[in-house]
Amino acid sequence: MLLPLLLRPPLCLPQASAVLTRCVRMLRCGAPRGLHSQAKNFLWQWRPQRHQARGRSRKTQSQEEEWRNRNKTALTYIAAAGVGMIGLAYAAVPLYRLYCQATGLGGTAVAGHDTEQVATMTPVKERVIKVTFNADTHASMQWNFRPQQTEIFVVPGETALAFYRAKNPTDKPIIGISTYNVVPFDAGQYFNKIQCFCFEEQRLNPHEEVDMPVFFYIDPEFDNDPRMARVDTITLSYTFFEAKEGQKLPLPGYSYS
């Protein structure tokens, strides 16, 4: 009666418990020798299986805990990377604008100047360059904005002064802010502005009109650059936008649709 149970496939836990109970009863009640030995062998085989099952269970729990810790660490790194990318996205525009102003990339005139260089630089008299001026306003900007002069002639190493004029023809105050670029783009690194009104908010009251100066010079190194050999005209262009909360200015040297 015990042999068929021993020869069956592996039992589930409730069935194995019932068989074990019957085996123990046989051993206590003095079962025949054949059944007695079968019961002892079954108990001996079942005992290590229980220990192995417990060992496997503990090992599985340990692996699950290890994987859980690894997942937490990975999620922490992913979250930190996401926050860092969002921060870089917000900082990209002002950082790029500062880089453009420092290097002249994208037709951006170089901001700032070396006072000693301005005082000691030698004009290149034989290289005359025509500088033309352009003025634009965004579609939503209600100012009248134009250059006071259409062109001037300068030489590398010589300072020059130009003016733009802005007027608010409306009956309400309007705050504007401007961006600019230089064409050809490669000439931007040599176009140095000592004073200008770009990237600064300008408030005009109703019907107010103002002149805005641009004080600049072209670096004498312009004449030594082979890429500038055929450049005899440079265009300085300004565009005014109405300053509104959340509005982003386009990057210098690049157009936005």
Delimit the domains of the chain by residue range.
120-242
CATH fold of 120-242: Ctag/Cox11 (Pfam 04442) (2.60.370)
C-alpha–C-alpha distance, residues 191 and 217, integer Å: 6
Cα separations in angstroms, 167 against 67, 146, 161, 198, 205: 67, 9, 20, 16, 9
C-alpha–C-alpha distance, residues 44 and 49, integer Å: 9
C-alpha–C-alpha distance, residues 134 and 211, integer Å: 15
Residue position matching structure tokens 């064409």: 183
pLDDT of residue 92: 45
Give the CA count within 13 Å in the CB-facing half-sphere of 172.
Answer: 6
- The terminus-to-terminus CA distance of the chain in angstroms comes to 89
Residue 137 and residue 165 in contact, taking contact as beta carbons nearer than 8 Å: no
- Please give the chain's pLDDT, 257 residues, in tens: 444 444 444 444 455 555 555 655 655 555 555 555 655 565 555 555 545 555 556 667 777 777 777 777 877 878 777 776 665 554 444 444 444 544 444 444 455 556 677 778 899 999 999 999 999 999 999 999 999 999 999 999 999 999 999 999 999 999 999 988 999 999 999 999 888 887 788 999 999 999 999 999 999 999 999 999 999 999 999 999 998 755 555 544 444 33
pLDDT of residue 54: 55
Residue position matching structure tokens 């700032």: 112
Report the amino acid identity of residue 190. Y
